[in-house]
């Protein structure tokens, strides 16, 4: 009898957790982080975010990097430029926002160790809704050479050569 009660409690808990996950304010699809090589101090993390009621991605954190920011790449006067998105990334209600190479993406800088293909990295996303309430989402992001489903095609952008503070090894004196 106790076994049956335990199984019922476990089933109820699983159903409750499933309903909680289904009710998440932001849907995250296909997250992945690009592999790095020895000495590479930065890389990108990519995914698709869809907010049910709109809001913003206001912060990102990971223990694998000293600095984690949301960046945007865009053409300005014929030159591709990358900069941090200040004030958060807008997530319009019901509209998918793609974080991809060459556009919006999460930058991991001052990496503590190389990111190896086949491993996963912890990533925390912090969202703010229209009322100002914050929600945290913990992800386990797979590390890969290309996006899921790319079938080995080369990635559109290589972050290894950006000459920005924290994105290259410190000069040896």
Tens of each residue's pLDDT in the chain, 173 residues: 444 444 333 333 333 333 334 346 899 999 999 999 999 999 999 999 999 999 999 999 999 999 999 999 999 999 999 999 999 999 999 999 999 999 999 999 999 999 999 999 999 999 999 899 999 999 999 999 998 876 554 444 444 434 444 444 443 33
* Paired strand residues for 142: 120
Q: Which CATH architecture has domain 25-147?
A: Sandwich (2.60)
Q: Report, in angstroms and rounded to the nearest whole number, the Rg of the chain calculated over CA atoms.
A: 19
The span from the CA of 20 to the CA of 24, in Å, is 7
- Please give the Cα distance from 106 to 46 (Å, whole number): 7
Per-residue confidence (pLDDT) for residue 130, from 0 to 100: 87
The model's pTM:
0.73
- Per-domain residue ranges for the chain? 25-147
Cα(2)–Cα(114) distance, integer angstroms: 49
* Joined tokens for residue 144: 């890969």
Strand spans (E) along the chain: 26-34, 42-51, 55-61, 65-76, 79-84, 89-91, 96-99, 105-111, 120-128, 134-144
Distance CA 144, CA 122 (A): 14
82 contacts 73 by C-beta, under 8 angstroms: yes
Backbone angles phi, psi at 28, to 5 degrees: -115, 125
Q: Supply the pLDDT for residue 8.
A: 34
């Amino acid at each position: 009898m106790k076994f049956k009660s335990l199984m019922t409690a476990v089933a109820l808990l699983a159903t409750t957790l499933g309903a909680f996950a289904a009710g998440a304010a932001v849907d995250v699809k296909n997250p992945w982080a690009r592999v790095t090589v020895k000495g590479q101090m930065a890389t990108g993390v990519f995914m698709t975010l869809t907010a049910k009621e709109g809001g913003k991605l206001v912060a990102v954190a990971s223990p694998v990097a000293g600095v984690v920011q949301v960046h945007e790449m865009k053409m300005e006067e014929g030159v591709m430029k990358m900069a941090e998105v200040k004030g958060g990334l807008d997530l319009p209600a019901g509209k998918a926002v793609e974080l991809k190479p060459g556009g919006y993406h999460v930058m991991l800088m001052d990496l503590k160790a190389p990111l190896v293909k086949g491993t996963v990295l912890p990533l925390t996303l912090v969202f703010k809704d229209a009322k100002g309430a914050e929600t945290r989402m913990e992800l386990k992001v797979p590390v890969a050479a290309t996006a899921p489903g790319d079938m080995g095609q080369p990635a559109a952008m290589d972050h290894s050569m950006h000459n920005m503070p924290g994105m290259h090894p410190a000069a040896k004196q």
